[in-house]
Amino acid sequence: MITRLVEDHAQALAGKGELPAFVYDLAALREHAAEVKAALSAPGAPEIFYAAKANPDAPILQALAPYVDGIEVASGGELAHVREALPDARLAFGGPGKTDDELRLALDLGVERIHVESPYELSRLADIARTSGREVDVLLRVNLAGDRGGVALAMSGPFGMDPDLIESCTGILENSPQVRLRGIHAHLASGLDASAMVAQSAEILAWGRAWLDRVGHTGPREFNLGGGMAVDYSTPETRFDWKQYGADVAALAESGETLRIEPGRSISVYAGWYLTEVLDVKKAHGQWYAVLRGGTMHIRTPVTKQHNHPHDVLTRNGDGPAVAGEPVTLVGQLCTPKDVFARDVPTDRIAVGDLVAFSMSGAYAWNISHHDFLMHPKPTFHYVDA
């Protein structure tokens, strides 16, 4: 699971006292992104806009740039950051609660598409475009996420407009010639495998085509089918079936349509590791614990996903406490019982001084974590390349 590049780096970092650390393997990232892009090369296959919120680090964005068609940003902060890291990238701007300042920034920084979340947002955007004498291209975000059983995260709630609310956009658009309706956006769920994702894409297309027909939309049409491609932390070697998805979705496209997706997690998650070391090993109330340097203030992922984060133990032959052949719970340095990386995992042997490499830490890891809790030192960051 750990690449040779990252393992070598881990030993070096331990020697220099630079753990915990996030290490990103840019060669592995490029290889994975190239495979995804190749799977989406059939005529009609969707464009890829990488969702920056999964991991917006500049070296990650720059490594991905040759393999993606653009970047999706979800705030003014991401927008400014991505524009700086990738001055020429095509950008789409989505997300609820966009402020006037953010909408103005989007126009200033040349965002190609704005994904509009509500009629009120649309009317504010129309005003901003009119008063600044500019045109703006939008997709309307529809929320068809009424009932999505079994998915990791259904995007029901305040995201986009349900089929009733989106009707209110038609009057605003009629009176706003500076706003060009390009099509429909939908990001309905995350954690879907390829077949489920194809079925969901077909559902979005069917709904979107009928709606655009009915409101008299003419000209080329775009459908952003969202992100949420499945990532399975319990079997890190499995991957979303991009080949199947690419072929089946391409077959859904009709002439005059551009399809687009905006995956995040499934693109960058496999390229990052959180590396740390064992500070203590002990038994409490019948349960073995390994206490690791750092904690979930650096990688909140196992807490939010409530899973055992996949990892490898790299033995270093220290002479401190150890346990072998027992289930071990890996915890961090926080004073809370919630600071758990993985619970009760069968472990050959783990000892003080060993290194632990948490894989699948390239997305929604450092950047979703509460870094300052307890004021431990921050991890160090490394972008390694072949």
Ligand X SMILES: *Cc1c(COP(=O)(O)O)cnc(C)c1O
Toward ligand X, which CB reaches closer, 55 or 333?
A: 55
Q: Which stretch binds ligand X (CB under 6 A): 26-34, 50-58, 276-284, 307-315?
A: 50-58
Please name the amino acid found at residue 29. Answer: L
CA distance 135 to 179: 6
Tokens found for residue 84? 């700086």
- Shortest gap between Cβ of 362 and ligand X (angstroms)? 11
Q: Please name every residue paired with 93 in a beta bridge, in sequence order, or none if there are none.
A: 73, 114
Q: Which stretch binds ligand X (CB under 6 A): 81-89, 169-177, 263-271, 354-362?
A: 263-271
Site mask for ligand X (CB under 6 A), range 59-98, x = bound: -------------x---------------------x----
| CA distances (Å), origin 231, targets 151, 236, 242, 291, 335 | 11, 8, 12, 27, 30
Using CB under 6 A, which of 228, 272, 294, 362 touches ligand X? Answer: 228
In terms of Cβ atoms closer than 10 Å to its own Cβ (0-12, 13-18, 19+), residue 377 is exposed
Please list, in sequence order, all residues whose beta carbon lies within 8 angstroms of the beta carbon of residue 238, skipping any fewer than 6 positions away.
Answer: 232
Query: Looking only at Cα atoms, what is the longest distance across the chain?
Result: 75
Residue 227 binds ligand X, judged by CB under 6 A: yes
Q: Which stretch binds ligand X (CB under 6 A): 31-39, 224-232, 326-334, 337-345?
A: 224-232
Using CB under 6 A, which of 183, 246, 263, 294 touches ligand X? Answer: 263
| CA distances (Å), origin 343, targets 64, 287, 303, 355, 366 | 34, 10, 11, 17, 20
- Shortest gap between Cβ of 94 and ligand X (angstroms)? 5
The answer to whether 169 is a known catalytic residue is no
Residue 183 binds ligand X, judged by CB under 6 A: no
Using CB under 6 A, which of 23, 39, 54, 331 touches ligand X? Answer: 54
Q: Please name every residue paired with 291 in a beta bridge, in sequence order, or none if there are none.
A: 280, 331
Which residues are known to be catalytic?
Answer: 335
Site for ligand X, rule CB under 6 A: 51, 53-54, 72, 94, 187, 190, 226-229, 262-266
